[in-house]
């Protein structure tokens, strides 16, 4: 029974809408308190199986290349793997000095990488998955909003590298939904039409179907409208 309880603790993860679990950790950029250090800003907390592994290395180069775009979108990057601080430092130096990937080289990783030898943070966020290694964190991504609420989470198996265009698209889409009170349909990117909530009454449904204003309605429950790309980016991205 005790063993079962321990495994349940390891595999528990926060859900969308939960407060992001608090933790204090040593990182390659000093000590952090998450998510309180990032109050008022978005954060992407992401985990890696281990240092000095090929897929992780390609991802860290890409994350570092993406960091400036995320900063402009009021978002911080925070990495984690279940390795020690000195291993982290040696790995990040090797990335900068030796590794080329997708035309990127001499890449310096400036965002914090958490030391989590005890796996305390990985356990709080359910990053140790049944069927995978018991001593490595899967490729988890948590989007945490300015109020410290988990807004989205994506999990990948150890063998699968992440799509960073999608991670950035998701960040901008969630901020757009918050700012303009809309939803973003499949494959949405800034400049594409956005969705509005279904009508809450028969009267509103009929009004929408007969409307000649900005709405485009295929049926009472499926209405879209245009939202200017420049307006979106001017409201979300820092100048």
- Residues annotated catalytic, as ranges: 56
- Encode pLDDT of 54-90 as tens digits: 999 999 999 999 999 999 999 999 999 889 999 999 9
Asked whether the CA dihedral 178, 180, 185, 189 is positive or negative, the reply is negative
**Whole-prediction pTM value?**
0.89
178-201 in b/e burial notation, b at 16+ Cβ within 10 A?
eebebebeeebebeeebbbeebee
* Binding site members for substrate: 139
Name the residue ranges covered by the structural domains of the chain.
Answer: 2-159, 181-236
Q: Give dist(CA 27, CA 181) in Å, integer.
A: 36
Per-residue pLDDT band at 127 (split at 50, 70, 90) = confident
Q: What is the pLDDT of residue 1?
A: 47
**Closest of 118, 123, 129, 116 to residue 158, by C-alpha:** 129
Fold type of domain 181-236: Antioxidant, Horf6; Chain A, domain 2 (3.30.1020)
Domain boundaries 2-159, corresponding CATH code: 3.40.30.10
Window from 3-7, 129-133, 186-190 with minimum mean pLDDT: 3-7
Angle between helix axes 164-180 and 229-236 (nearest 10 degrees) is 90
């Amino acid at each position: 029974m005790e063993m079962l309880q321990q495994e349940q603790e390891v595999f528990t993860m926060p859900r969308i809408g939960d407060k992001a679990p608090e933790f204090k950790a040593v990182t390659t950029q000093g000590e952090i308190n998450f998510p309180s250090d990032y109050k008022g800003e978005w954060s992407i907390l992401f985990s890696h199986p281990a240092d000095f592994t090929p897929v992780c290395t390609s991802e860290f180069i890409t994350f570092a290349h993406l960091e400036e775009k995320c900063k402009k979108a009021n978002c911080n990057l925070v990495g984690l793997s279940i390795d020690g601080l000195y291993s982290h430092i040696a790995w990040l130096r090797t990335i900068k000095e030796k590794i080329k990937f997708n035309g990127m080289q001499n890449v310096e990783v400036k965002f914090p990488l958490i030391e989590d030898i005890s796996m305390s943070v990985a356990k709080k966020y359910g990053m140790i998955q049944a069927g995978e290694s018991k001593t490595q964190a899967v490729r988890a991504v948590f989007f945490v909003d300015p109020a410290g609420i988990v807004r989205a989470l994506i999990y990948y198996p150890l063998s699968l590298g992440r799509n960073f265009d999608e991670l950035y698209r998701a960040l901008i889409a969630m901020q757009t939904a918050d700012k303009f009170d809309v939803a973003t349909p499949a494959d949405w990117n800034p400049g594409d039409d956005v969705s509005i909530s279904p009508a809450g009454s028969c009267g509103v449904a009929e009004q929408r179907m007969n409307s000649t204003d900005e709405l485009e309605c295929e049926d009472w429950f499926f209405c879209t409208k245009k939202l200017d790309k420049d307006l979106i980016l001017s409201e979300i991205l820092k100048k």
